[in-house]
Amino acid sequence: MSSEGFLKELQTIGEKLLLKLQRLPKADPVEIVSFCVVLLFIATVLLLMIIACSCCCYSCCGCDGHDNHRRRKTQVRPATH
């Protein structure tokens, strides 16, 4: 997908969301609750992704003050009998 197509798709989604938000005060209570549940789900997924990425970057990049054992190279020696 080209960047122009992606931006157009993003704009279309944004317009649909704006239209949905404009119609929300006149909507049924069930529709309002379902819309809020969907928004809560999206926010939860984004928050969990941010937490997971920050924890991963924190441990992988050495920001925790410990040496990263994955970056050390250990030399394997043959076993002697």
Question: Which pLDDT tens digit goes with each residue over 17-49?
Answer: 889 889 888 889 998 899 899 989 999 999 999
**DSSP states along 1-13:** --HHHHHHHHHHH
Distance CA(54)–CA(66), nearest Å, equals 16
21-33 residues labelled b (16+ CB within 10 A) or e (exposed): eeeeeeeeeeeee
Task: Give the model's pLDDT for residue 7.
Answer: 92
What is the DSSP code (8-state) at residue 26?
G
Task: Give the model's pLDDT for residue 27.
Answer: 87
Considering the chain, what is the average pLDDT of its residues? 82
| Spatial CA neighbour of 35 closest among 16, 48, 53, 49 | 16
More confident residue, 62 or 26: 26
Distance CA(31)–CA(24), nearest Å, equals 8
Look at residue 64 and tell me whether its pLDDT is greater than 60. no
Task: Give the model's pLDDT for residue 9.
Answer: 94
